[in-house]
Amino acid sequence: MVLGKSKGNKMERDTAKSLSIWMFNDQHVLKREPTSGAIKHNYCGDIFPMKQIDWSNFPFLIETKTGYEQHTPTLWQYTKVLDWFNKSLVEGKQHNQHIIFLICQFKNKPALLFTNYQISLEKITPVSIIPNQINGNLNWINTYIFKDVLKLGFLDLFGSEITYR
C-alpha cells in the first residue's frame, strides 16, 4: 500500500505541475493537497491553487486516480469512474467548483481526463462520452487523452469560464 500511496502522490505532483504550467505558465501555482483533505481550504480536490491567483474563483475541481487496473473503464464497465466523478460533482457544488477534472492513470494506459465540460469538437474529439444519470437528469462525461488536452491553449478552451478580479 505504501508503494501505491507514493505512486499516487507522484502522479498528483506531476499532474499539478503540468496543469499549473498549462493554466498559469507557472509551475508553482497549483499544488497537490498534501493532507488528502484533512485541512479545509477554500477549494476542494487533490490539486488546487496554493498561490494567489487573479481570478475571482477557481472553477475547477481536480481529482486524480492512479493504478486501479481492475477499474479500467471499458465500453460496458465504467461504474467506478462514475462513483469518483459523482463524488466530485457533489463536492464541487459545495465549493463553487463546477468544472470537474477527474484525471485517471490506469495501469499501462494513457492518462484520461474525464470532465463535465464539453470542449469544442473543432479543437479536440473525446475518445468517449459516458452517460451519467443524476436525479433523473441525463448528463455527459467527456473523456479525453490528458496529454492531448494539454497540447491545446488553456484560455482558448476555458477562457470563457474565467472571471478576473
pLDDT at 8 exceeding the cut of 70: no
Express each pLDDT in 148-159 by its tens digit: 999 999 999 999
What separation in angstroms does the CA of 155 have from each of 70, 119, 160? 35, 12, 8
Q: What is the pLDDT of residue 2?
A: 46
85-123 pLDDT, tens digit per residue, is 999 999 999 999 999 999 998 888 899 999 999 999 999
pTM exceeds 0.85: yes
Percentage above 90 pLDDT, the chain: 66
Q: Give residue 9's pLDDT.
A: 78
Residue 30's beta-bridge partner residues?
Answer: 49
The chain-wide mean pLDDT, for the chain, equals 87
User: Each residue of 42-92: pLDDT tens digit?
Assistant: 788 999 998 889 999 999 999 999 876 665 566 567 788 999 999 999 999
Per-residue pLDDT, 6? 67
pLDDT at 1: 43
Q: Would you state the torsion angle of the CA atoms of residues 143, 146, 149, 151, taken in this order, to the nearest 10 degrees?
A: -160
Extended beta strands in the chain, E state: 30-32, 47-49, 60-67, 99-106, 112-115, 128-134, 137-145
